[in-house]
Every structure is written in structure tokens, then in C-alpha cells.
Amino acid sequence: MSSHPAKVSSRAARKVAAPAQSKALSTTKQKLEKLGLRSAQDLILHLPLRYEDETEIMPIAVLRPGRSAQIQGVVIRSEASYQPRRQLTAVLQDESGVIGLRWLTFYPNQQQQMQVGRRWRVRGEVRGGLHGYEIIHPKVTVADSPLPAALTPVYPTTDGLSQPSLRKAILQALASAELNDTLEADSVNKLGLQTFSLAIRTLHGPTPDMDAQALIEHTHPSWLRIKFDELLAQQLSLAAARDARRSLRARKLTLNSKPESLCARLLQALPFSLTSAQARVVGEISVDLQREFPMYRLLQGDVGSGKTVVAALAALQAIDAGVQVALMAPTEILAEQHYQKLKIWCEPLGVEVCWLTGSITPKARKLANEAISGGRARLVVGTQALIQDTVEFFDLGLVIVDEQHRFGVAQRLSLSRKGQDAQTGAALSASDDFVPHQLTMSATPIPRTLAMTFYADLEVSSIDTLPPGRTPVLTKLISSVRREEVVAHVAQACTTGQQVYWVCPLVQESETLDLQTAVDTHLALTQALPKCRVGLVHGQLHQTEKAQVMKAFREAKIDVLVATTVIEVGVDVPNASLMVIEHAERFGLAQLHQLRGRVGRGVAKSVCVLLYQTPLSLLARQRLRAMYETQDGFEIAQRDLDLRGPGELLGSRQSGVTLLRFADLATDSALVVAAREVATDLRKNAPHIVERHLARWMRGREDFLRS
């Protein structure tokens, strides 16, 4: 099974959400435990978030807003006021000038501290205030005490655990903990890395001669060593998870290669032949399905590359071998579309396809459940409702998850466990606990380094060419002041039989407001385009209504389809050749790419108009430029990664990125590659080092290792 990032992060979330009412008595030890710090080893790997430079006192006259400062001076004015709001203000003076200090909440003893004439050392961030510079909520300490010789580390902490007590605990741990290298000295040298002990000691207590900037920006050689170790641990544990899966048992789904096999008959019936890329991935999947341990394969292919037929062939191989197959999609529109297509492909072959979503009537649902648990339904297509507890499969052998990036890892796992439960449950003889094979499909190409970590526990197949006959989509960037012209162009296009998507943006995090925009746009376009049939589809429509609209569009009974992003993934209407995206500046890059992928699927020359509203933020400008400059999904994904970082690209909760505390996949790709090579070598040649390294890095994270 895959790693468990979702589990880890929900755990972390709980930790944060835990009420701070834990007894006032709670000792430092308990507070440390709250941070997951139990042993000396835990403490030494609790590394600073940042550093503060407290090695110098600055003259007040040189301070600039936005910078942190440490100054020393005498209080020359002090006032507690209660109108218009409660606050404490003071003015501190040194030989060079004065600066304001301000507290928005304060205790009586702070007011006493700030009595005129007293001398303090003060630290904080300088801001430009109404009456000159000021520091809000400064840290106040005794003046004229000796200055530290090194940068002061600032650690991640929790309520009620002060930096000084945390620092003390860590210093103690450093004195007692074992800091030996997990790697051989030789390979540390060869990799050009620092030793572990030097790196750890440096990061906890850098001396003033060290490059402060590099320490703060995590580019210092000491950070590189730690990040390398962390990435190595990740690679090793993902590889272990992969191995563990091989000890699970799955049905061996032998390929029927007779001419009357289901696969052969589908290939015969298709109006096209597979591209060589499709044929290759079909082969890869087919080999996996014939193994006795479960397949966990990711099928990557840009929008329109033809993943569905590959999924169908995998399903038919499995069905021919005698098991049930489930295909799950993230939205009803998409599930419905798969259902329609698979029905057309499979039913003539005598394969019963069953439709199951959250919104079917109780009666239809009961019938579906019976067909599924009785084993009559061989291919079950639907949405997440599939994974609800009420569904019992008779003999689920393969699970296909489409547009997998929409699902959390937890959901992925839940569905694959479904197979286990169905097997061990009442349905079959209790002795055979097989795990279903799993194929996940994604149209979001993942840059190589991300794939190496996020998907390191999966096999990956890529469809790297599009079916023949596609013409590239012409992308136009048009300012919204020219919206009228675009509407006129749409009117023109309709008269020549073209079909058009008009995409409305998400306005807010509010479904009602988004809906309102779509409804308004629909009304406006209906009026502006009297000769066109304008339809509307959005997320709030009942699923049957949605399906009706999509059907009408597919059958060319609608010319212009006003839509929200419900059409973002997977929707396939080859005759649609013009797409207008309003407020394109509000969409993410991956989303724009997915949307644009809805056109350019047929032979007609397709155009995608990105209507934008000025002024554009820098980020929006970069995104639109990327859309204009390239159509290559991998290129787009790489630019997206550069613009946003991996957390957002994959959705940090499901990315597995949250497991990395120090390394950053966007900037540390060279380290990822190195760690991967070393991991492979160690697993082959030095299992004792693997064990040692994981023991250091995976302590307390057993749930990550377990599979």
C-alpha cells in the first residue's frame, strides 16, 4: 500500500487543534512531547525555523522599516491609554535618536517596566508609524548584558514552551545524543556533504563567522546535508512501502490472447487504432495485472491523450480473467461520461456495466448494490459513492481511479482496501484475502522530481504523444474591455456550426456567488446571442440535469455552453472548438491547462480565448504568458511548480510533501536525484545502513513506514 501522508497530516492537525487547556502543571517534558520530542535524537533533529541576529546593538538612527533590529536605550516617555483603545506606548532614546514602542495588550508589570528613565535592550521588527518608526510588541531584556557570540536559533514551538527552555533542552540533547554518521565516511565525501555531526551542531549554534544569509535561506552546506538525509529517508521508506506491497497477494489476471477475447473484440470495434504510446502502456499494465501481487500504477497522459481506452482495455483484461472492476471519477459529469463511453464499448461484448453515484434514487441504488454484491455487474462506474461503506463487491480485482489528483491519498487507499474487505468479508471464502490491482490516471503531468517523491511508491506509465489529427489550440490573450468583440466572434462561430464553451470563474469561496455569476452570464449571453442556443451547466445542478445538458451539448443541440469549472476535467466533446475563459487571471495554471484541453479534440482548428481583467498581478501575468507560450503539459507543470511550489501544485494535504520538514522539492531537485541514487545503492549493498538511517529519521513516524 502507499504511504500515509494524509494520516500524518491529520495527526499534525489534531496536535495544533488540541485545546491549550492542558493542565497548567504540564511540565517542560510534557510540552516537548506535544511537539513529538521524546528522545535526545528527536531533539537534535528539531531544527531552527530561522535565526535572529542578536550579536549586535544597532544605533536607532540607522533603523529602517521592515527590518528586525536590536537596540538599547532609555525610556524618555511612557503612556498607558484606554481611548480609543487600550494600549501602552513608550519612546526609547539612544545617542543617535528615538523610536516608539507599542503594546496593544499589556500587563501592569510591563507598564512598570517602561517607567521613564529605565534602560532596556529591545528587539523587534521596525515599522513605519504615524509619528516616525516604531516597534510593536518588542522583546524587552536587560540592557548591557553580554551579547551572544552566535546567531540565536528560533525553533518551532508550542503554547507555553518558551524559546529559552526549548533551547536548553536541545543543548542538553546535543551533549548526550549520538551524532555518528549513518552513511560511510567515504560516501559522505564523495557526495561532497558535511558530516552529520558538523551539520547538526552548526544548525543549532552557528558561529558569527558563518554565512547568516545561507543559514536563513537553507542553502548553507549544513542544511544541504540535513535535507539530503531527509530525502534519503523518504526514498528508503517509499521503497520499503513498495516492497511491502509485493508481499500482498492479488489475483493473477491472465491476459486472454485469443482473437475472441474481450480486449481483442474491443480493439476490433474501435473506430481508431491505438497510438504506439497507448499500445505501450496497455502492455505495461497488462504485464502488471498478471502478477500475483497488486499493481499500483499511475497512468500519466496529457489532456486528450486517450487514457480512457487504455483503462477500458485494462478493465476488459481483468473481466475476462473473471473479476469485477470499479472505475471511479471525481465528479458526476465525468463519471457519467465514462459510463456512457464504457457502456457503448463494453455492452456489445456482453459485459454488464453498472452506474453508481451518490445521487441515484434509493431504489436504483438498491438494485445496483445487488448487482454488485451478487457479482452480476462486472464493471462498476461511479463517483466517490463507490467507496461508501454500503457497497460490497463480489470479487473486486481491479480499481481504476480517474483524474487521481482530485482525490486524497486517503481516498485512494480506502478504495483499494474496499477490495480487501470485500474479500475477507462475508462475500467470499474468508481464507483468500486478495488485494485489488490499482490503476490511477492523471492528466496533471508531474515534474520528474515530484514524481520521484510523491509517486515513488507507484509505477508510472506515460502516454507521451497525442492521437493523430489533432491541431494545436491557438491561444489568445484578450483584455476584458474587448469582451463585446469576443461575443461577436462567438456569434459568428455558431453560425458556422462550431460549438463553444464559455467558462465562468470561481468568484469567491462561495458556491452561491459562483452560481450567480454563471446564471447571470447565461442570461446575458442568451440575450446577446439571439441566434444561438445557449446552455448552462454548473455544480449545483442535479446530476440528471447535468447529464442532460452535457448530452445536448454532445449532440450539438446546444451551441454555447456556459459552464463553471465543473467541466475542468475529462469532459470530451470533440466538436467544441472555441473556448472563452472569463477572468482567466483568477485561475491557476494547471486549471487553465485542463480547461483548454477541452478544445482541440476534433479535426477543426480550435481557439482558446483567455479574457483577462487588468491590472494583472505579476503571478497572473506569468501564468497567462505560460499559457500563451506552451501547450506541453509537462512544461506547464514545471512552470506551475516554479510559480507556486509543490504544496499547492499537488494540494499539500495529499502531496506527501508535508512529510518533508526541511527539503523543498521545488528548489532541491538535485538533492532528490542524488538521494534516489544513494537509496538504490544502499538497498542493494548495505541493508544495515538503510536500517540505521531509517531508525534516525523515521522515529515516531511509524505510520509513514507501515504499509
Question: Binding residues for Mg ion, per CB under 5 A?
Answer: 570
309 touches ligand ADP (CB under 6 A): yes
331 touches ligand ADP (CB under 6 A): no
Distance in Å, CB of 648 to ligand ADP, minimum: 23
Distance in Å, CB of 570 to Mg ion, minimum: 4
Q: Collect all residues with Cβ–Cβ distance below 8 Å to 111 and sequence separation of at least 6.
A: 78, 80, 88
280 touches ligand ADP (CB under 6 A): no
Helix (H) or strand (E) holding 363: helix 362-374
554 touches ligand ADP (CB under 6 A): no
Q: Which is nearer to ligand ADP, 101 or 595 (CB)?
A: 595
Cα-to-chain-centroid distance, residue 147? 43
Q: Which does 301 bind (CB under 5 to 8 A by kind): ligand ADP, Mg ion, none?
A: ligand ADP
Query: What are 71's three cell numbers?
Result: 537596540
Q: Which is nearer to ligand ADP, 404 or 498 (CB)?
A: 404
3 touches ligand ADP (CB under 6 A): no
Distance in Å, CB of 573 to Mg ion, minimum: 12
Query: What are 696's three cell numbers?
Result: 534516525
The single residue among 230, 395, 568, 572 that binds ligand ADP, judged by CB under 6 A, is: 572
Q: Which does 638 bind (CB under 5 to 8 A by kind): Mg ion, ligand ADP, none?
A: none
Amino acid at 696: R
Amino acid at 507: V
Q: Which is nearer to Mg ion, 382 or 570 (CB)?
A: 570
- Which bin fits 375, alpha (ψ -120 to 50), beta or left (φ > 0)? left
Give bridge partners of residue 296 from the DSSP assignment.
438
Distance in Å, CB of 444 to Mg ion, minimum: 12
Q: Which residue is nearest to ligand ADP (CB)?
A: 306
For residue 584, give the nearest of 618, 609, 567 by alpha carbon: 609
Residue 447 and residue 462 in contact, taking contact as beta carbons nearer than 8 Å: no
Distance in Å, CB of 28 to Mg ion, minimum: 54
Peptide bond into 615 cis (omega under 30): yes
Distance in Å, CB of 643 to ligand ADP, minimum: 23
Distance in Å, CB of 275 to ligand ADP, minimum: 5
278 touches ligand ADP (CB under 6 A): yes
- Residue count (the chain): 707
Q: Which is nearer to Mg ion, 401 or 560 (CB)?
A: 401
70 touches ligand ADP (CB under 6 A): no
Torsion of CA 509, 511, 516, 522, to 10 degrees: 110
Query: What are 618's three cell numbers?
Result: 505579476
What is the C-alpha separation between 550 and 552, in angstroms, rounded? 5
Residues 415-444 as x/- pattern, contact with ligand ADP by CB under 6 A: ----------------------------x-
274 touches ligand ADP (CB under 6 A): yes
601 touches ligand ADP (CB under 6 A): yes
* Backbone CA torsion sign across 240, 410, 653, 200: negative
Find the angle CA(109)-CA(157)-CA(704) to the nearest 5 degrees.
Answer: 165
Cα-to-chain-centroid distance, residue 383? 21
Helix (H) or strand (E) holding 327: strand 324-328
The single residue among 574, 588, 645, 647 that binds ligand ADP, judged by CB under 6 A, is: 574
Q: Which is nearer to Mg ion, 332 or 457 (CB)?
A: 332
Binding positions for ligand ADP, rule: CB under 6 A: 272, 274-275, 278, 301, 303-309, 443, 467, 570, 572, 574, 601
